[in-house]
Amino acid sequence: MTNGRRMVSVLGSTGSIGVNTLDVIARHPRRFEVFALAANSSVDAMLAQCLACEPRYAVMMEEVAAESLRRQLPATSSTEVLQGEAGLFHVVTAPQVDVVMAAIVGAAGLPSTLAAARAGKTLLLANKESLVMGGHLLMQAVRESGARLLPIDSEHNAIFQCMPVDGVATPSLKGVSKVLLTASGGPFRNWSIAQMRGATPDQACAHPNWSMGRKISVDSASLMNKGLEFIEACWIFDLAPDLVDVVVHPQSIIHSMVQYRDGSVMAQMGNPDMRTPIAYGLGWPDRLASGVAPLDLVATARLDFEAPDEQRFPCLRLAREAVTAGGTAMAVCNAANEIAVAAFLDQQIRFTDIPVVIEHTLEQVSIVEPTTLSVVEAADAEARDLASGFLAEVNNHVSPVNKI
């Protein structure tokens, strides 16, 4: 903490979560200071953020991007440019850092998230893959180091708000009978399987309520995002899979609910804007102004709910089965999904082929106990190789469904 301000490192700063985090921080200059920003390769966006926030460090994962940023920063800039995993580890473990926003997309975010937890930081977790891949390792690190984990995904943040918590932000299951995880249903909620078979990447990324990156948008369209969140909820709140239900709620006004033994259901509501959970995480236990407009219940008019259709959206079933299987099955599921989504976005496969790739990979790979980070990374690599190999067996733009 410097001059009474909490020092924040924002990982994935040029993505949607990172941009919204910086927006909230800028509203509270007396409470927060940006210590470091980190991104993969978006030099122009990072340059603009460095000029606006003046962080002590900027980390670019790609070496060429790091060199480009160094050349473009003004000679008067006090920002030091770092590169790669070593740079990430430095900005999450530095003693000056109070808060780490972990918003790197995908499996790439696990090592730095784990490092922040082991360093005992306040960890604002927006990288769900860290828990999906290495939930046992991450939660163990939080407990052993005394780190504080605050979930930033809107659903898990909502659950956190609806549960009793202690003074160090540890949620309690006292009196809880079930967690109800809401899903918007995505852009294909009312589409048939035949319609989804011809869906384009742009259609899959056109989420009706949220503005997100392309990978997470495709996950939302397939309901794999909800499957990953199902896994994440089990880890964060120490829940057995049968204590978590998914409920489709198209308006995305209720972000999730907690059902209690006495019949009460606590729901967290608000406009679909990620600045709300980000502000809650940054300010906890205080509530900060986020810039989000208040919810107008009269204008909202109605709230609808329905059960998810796992026949049309099998990714949700696959994620649930991975939780039940345990071990590295969750890491395998995530890795195969990343490969399949990338192939779909590159128009190599159809949207409906995504779960085919995942299921094939889960059937082929060996499941082991995730005792160390290297074991998890090995399972992730094996799954990626298997999924990529499966895709290589078919020609571009030809469905694997027609080949098996």
DSSP string, 208-242: SS----HHHHHHHHHTHHHHHHHHHHHHHTT--GG
Residue 62 confidence (pLDDT): 93
Residue 2 confidence (pLDDT): 72
> In the chain, what are the domain boundaries?
6-152, 157-272+293-321, 326-404
Decide whether 6-152 matches 326-404 in CATH topology. no
Give Cα separations from 109 to 92, 123, 175, 280, 346 (angstroms).
12, 13, 34, 22, 22
Residue 60 and residue 79: Cα distance in Å, rounded?
13
DSSP state of 119: T
DSSP state of 31: T
CATH of 326-404, one of 3.30.1280.10, 2.40.30.10, 1.10.1740.10, 3.40.50.150: 1.10.1740.10
Q: Are 226 and 285 in contact (CB under 8 A)?
A: no
The residue whose two tokens read 């930081």 is 121
What are the structure tokens assigned to 378, written together? 């090995």
Cβ neighbors of 333 (< 8 A, separation 6 or more) are 132, 227, 318, 319, 322, 358, 361, 362
- Residue 80 carries which side chain, given as an amino acid letter? E
User: What does CATH list as the number for 6-152?
Assistant: 3.40.50.720
Residue 105 confidence (pLDDT): 83
Cβ neighbors of 141 (< 8 A, separation 6 or more) are 114, 117, 118, 147
Residue 404 confidence (pLDDT): 43
What are the structure tokens assigned to 50, written together? 């460095």
Output the tens digit of pLDDT for each of the chain's 404 residues.
777 899 999 999 999 999 999 999 999 999 999 999 999 999 999 999 999 999 999 999 999 999 999 999 999 999 999 999 999 999 999 999 999 999 998 888 999 999 999 999 999 999 888 999 999 999 999 999 999 999 999 999 999 999 988 877 889 999 999 999 999 999 999 999 999 999 999 999 988 777 778 888 999 999 999 999 999 999 999 999 999 999 999 999 999 999 999 999 999 999 999 999 999 999 999 999 999 999 999 999 899 999 999 999 999 999 999 999 999 999 999 999 999 999 999 999 999 999 999 999 999 998 999 999 999 999 999 999 999 999 988 644 454 444 44
CA atoms within a 13 Å half-sphere pointing along the CA-CB vector of 287: 4
Q: Are 188 and 319 in contact (CB under 8 A)?
A: no
**Closest C-alpha to 98, from 122, 126, 119, 115:** 122
- pTM for this prediction: 0.91
SS3 state at 316: helix
